[in-house]
Amino acid sequence: MNDYINLHDVNLFYGTNQALKDVKLQAAKHEITAFIGPSGCGKSTLLRCLNRMNDLIPNVKITGEISVAGESLYGANTDVESLRKNIGMVFQAPNPFMMSIYDNIAFGPRRFGVKSKAILDEIVEKSLRAAVLWDEVKDQLKKSGLSLSGGQQQRLCIARALSVEPDVLLMDEATASLDPISTMKIEELVQQLKKDYTIVMVTHNMQQAARVSDKTCFFLNGEVIESAPTKTLFNNPEDKRTEDYITGRFG
Amino acid sequence: MQQTNSTASKMSGRHWRLMFSDQVFKWFCLFSAIVLCVVLFSIVFFMGKTGVLTFEFVKVTEYFFSLNWNPGFDETATYGAGIFFIGTILLTLLTLIISVPISVGIAVFLAEIAPTRLKETVRPILDLLVGIPSVIYGFLGLTILVPFVAKVFGTQLGDGLLAAALVLSLMVLPTIGRISDDSIEAVPQKYREAAYAMGCTKLQTIFFVVLPAARRGIVSAIILGMTRALGETMAVVMVIGNVPQLAESLVQPTSVLTSNIVMQIMAVPFESTWNYALFFMGFSLLVVALLLIVFVRIINNRSEVQ
């Protein structure tokens, strides 16, 4: 299953501006794949292709082939809603809804028709435990999600993404707005989640990619320059540009 | 040396001039603010003081709860203003029932669904509608709506609560619509993204994420629309029929607080119970409007805290 997520010749245009060029990429199941590269290199854009969040932006044109578990994401019969349910996403800034911690987690399952209080209770506890937040919030589930600290809010968002039982979790610089201790907690959490989910993360922070991921892809100007197991990429980069970037010569 | 001195004295002259104009401007602004407060206070005080004189001649319970409005200058006069209070409440409720769903619908359409070019056309139109003088709405109501209502209901006259509520709905629609539109537009994109990323449809995102997040703004919009409906006089006078009786149907001529005040105030001497009773109606409207505006302020402050 080394090509659980498979991208073939993906090109993306914002109007006439090409943001991704002939991207070829594979990501394995139950692994963490990290996208690194300087700002504006297209790594977030590519991540957003994986759950079709780019559909929300007008004038975006995508060509090429993207599939997850053998199913094409941009097929004629693709159900975008169930696709997004299957491929969860965590954003750069924590964005819990303006509702209680409980309702934040129960939101997704409720939209997909879960009504029973007992089942919802179970999902809320399971998701919060999976995001290692349960022990901190179990006595205050009725409190607003916004009353938590930034790191807790981000873990709440992870729990919310897990509540609809996705297979893949996309993380778009999920620790960029957090302090080092919260970042460390999220990194530990991501390592645990790998057992049950396939994770693709975008990060600004090369050390983070080195610490956490199994595979790293280096992006530059919309192209994948190099994509290799993390250790190989950081210790023996093949391309000169990769070496320049990871040794801090630019970016 | 001499030159240094003259520079210094120039500097200090300029300094004093600036200080002086600063102070003058400050006092002018303060004075303006105080004038405004005094005006507001005097209006409330004058209306209240004249209005409460009513109760030297009329029992409070009779004034508010009796439906017998039979004013005059002899012993048999009665001042049951209940019909007007009930009329105003009914008219306002009816207006809101008609206008709120439509205007919130317009707001959702503009903020969430409409393509940019349509948005840019409809928004200025709504803004212009707010500024149309109410007598124009009254004219249209009188010449188009009232005959239409009469035809639909098969009555001789179309004047009444329904015609008034329809005209008022049209008038408050842009107010409620635009303010709600702005508050929906102000909901941060990150909440929509979170909902879409979980697999919500557009409709689910609007109903379960965007509207709840914008609810304070929408409630403020509705209340501001309500104060407009409560206080509107001219357009209402032209279509409500102006008979001081309790409406038994939606198409029976009746009166509300504002329309009754304007129809009768010209005909009564200043020092009469009748006049005082009309003043107290005005005072009641004023108090309700002020309370509603205070309520809006409280809601908005609370949302800022969050």
Give the domain CATH number at A177: 3.40.50.300
In the predicted model, what is the mean pLDDT of residues B290-298?
Answer: 93
Hey, is A6 helix, strand or coil?
strand
The predicted-structure confidence for B127-159, as pLDDT tens digits, reads as follows 999 889 999 999 999 999 999 999 999 888 889
pLDDT band, very low/low/confident/very high, at A251 (cuts 50, 70, 90): low
For residues A212-223, b (16+ Cβ closer than 10 Å) or e, as one string? bbbbbbbbbebb
Out of B190, B194, B196, name the one closest to residue A56 (CB).
B196
**C-alpha triplet B176, B180, B181: angle, nearest 5°:** 115
Residues 6+ apart with CB under 8 A from A53: A84, A89, B193, B196, B197
State which H helix or E strand residue A109 sits in. Answer: helix A101-111
Chain A residues in contact with B197 (beta carbon < 8 A): 51, 53, 84, 88-89, 91, 161
> For residue A95, which phi and psi values (nearest 5 degrees)?
-130, 55
Chain B residues in contact with A91 (beta carbon < 8 A): 190, 193-194, 197
Chain B residues in contact with A148 (beta carbon < 8 A): none
Out of A91, A99, A160, name the one closest to residue B193 (CB).
A91
- C-alpha dihedral, B248 to B252 to B256 to B261, nearest 10°: -130
Helix B189-197, helix A150-162: angle, nearest 10: 30
Scan for tokens 């990619």, then name that residue: A209
The share of chain B scoring above pLDDT 90, in percent, equals: 81
The predicted-structure confidence for B234-260, as pLDDT tens digits, reads as follows 999 999 999 999 888 899 999 999 999
Residue A41 lies in a domain: yes
Residue A160 lies in a domain: no
In the predicted model, what is the mean pLDDT of residues B102-111?
Answer: 96
The share of chain B scoring above pLDDT 70, in percent, equals: 95
Cβ pairs bridging A and B (under 8 Å): 65
Scan for tokens 């981000």, then name that residue: A154
What's the domain range around A31?
5-94+167-246
Residue A152 lies in a domain: no
Residue A148 lies in a domain: no
Query: B102 exposed, middle or buried (CB, 10 Å; 0-12, 13-18, 19+)?
Result: middle
The predicted-structure confidence for B260-293, as pLDDT tens digits, reads as follows 999 999 989 988 999 999 999 999 999 999 999 9
- Mark yes or no for CB contact A89/B197 under 8 Å: yes
Scan for tokens 């010749």, then name that residue: A9
Mean pLDDT over the full length of chain A: 92
Residue A147 lies in a domain: no
The pLDDT assigned to B284 comes to 96
Residue of A nearest to B306 (CA): A146
- Mark yes or no for CB contact B196/A112 under 8 Å: no
